[in-house]
Amino acid sequence: MKAKLLLLSLLIVLYSCKKQQPQKIGPIPTLNPKEEQPTLQMWGKWRLTNGWMYFENLETGEKYKYTHFDGAQTTSSLRWSAPKFEIERIVQNQTTWEFIPLSSGNGIHDFMLNDSTLMGFNLTNSYRTIVEHPTANSATNMHLGGSARPLGVWTEDNVHMIVRLQEFYDSFNGYNWKLFSVLEFEQIN
């Protein structure tokens, strides 16, 4: 009975958000291609082509998969409710990420979101984490809320990149959930 109530509550929440219904799945797939690839050449510009959000109920073990894009929906959010920061708003075939290597030697490289140099993101080389620009110090110039976005990065051919990010925990409908997104990019230069 509790599981049916949870599913009904989840459906009501999902319907009220005007999102399609997440599909119940078995084990959440790993991104394998031989573990994360630390030598992946991610430098250059990448365009978002597809994306999914995974939900895991930490108490019941149920798992769901939500497709960010379908034929009618081309805009989505890495946060279930609504995007809080610009990096969380994603548009299929329009959102771009660019990684620019710097020779500063400090392990921090430039990261540009949608061709904007004003966003002030950087990428740490050792942990592949998008972080606030070191000079960001207030709500007016902080674009991650003072936080960071760790990335798991995979590729099949150095032209396509799969990124796992935005992992977080949330509570709703009386349950604790683990959520994360998997995004697929293609290199455009």
Gyration radius of the chain's alpha carbons: 17
**Is the torsion defined by CA of 41, 129, 34, 157 positive or negative?**
negative
Cα dist from 41 to 65, 88, 171, whole Å: 29, 24, 37
Between residues 2 and 14, which one has the greater pLDDT?
Answer: 2
Mean pLDDT (whole number) for 108-130: 73
Which H or E run includes 54? strand 44-57
State the distance between the two ends of the chain, measured CA to CA, in whole angstroms.
53
Its pTM stands at: 0.77
Q: Which residue has the higher pLDDT, 48 or 13?
A: 48
Mean pLDDT of the region 12-32: 56
pLDDT of 122 reads 67
Separation between Cα atoms, residue 89 and residue 72, nearest integer Å: 17
pLDDT tens-digit map of 141-185: 666 666 677 788 877 677 888 888 878 888 878 899 999 999 999
CA dist 25 and 134 (Å) reads 40
- Give me the percent of the chain exceeding a pLDDT of 70: 64
65: left (phi over 0), alpha (psi -120 to 50) or beta: beta
Q: How many angstroms separate the CA atoms of 144 and 141, rounded?
A: 9
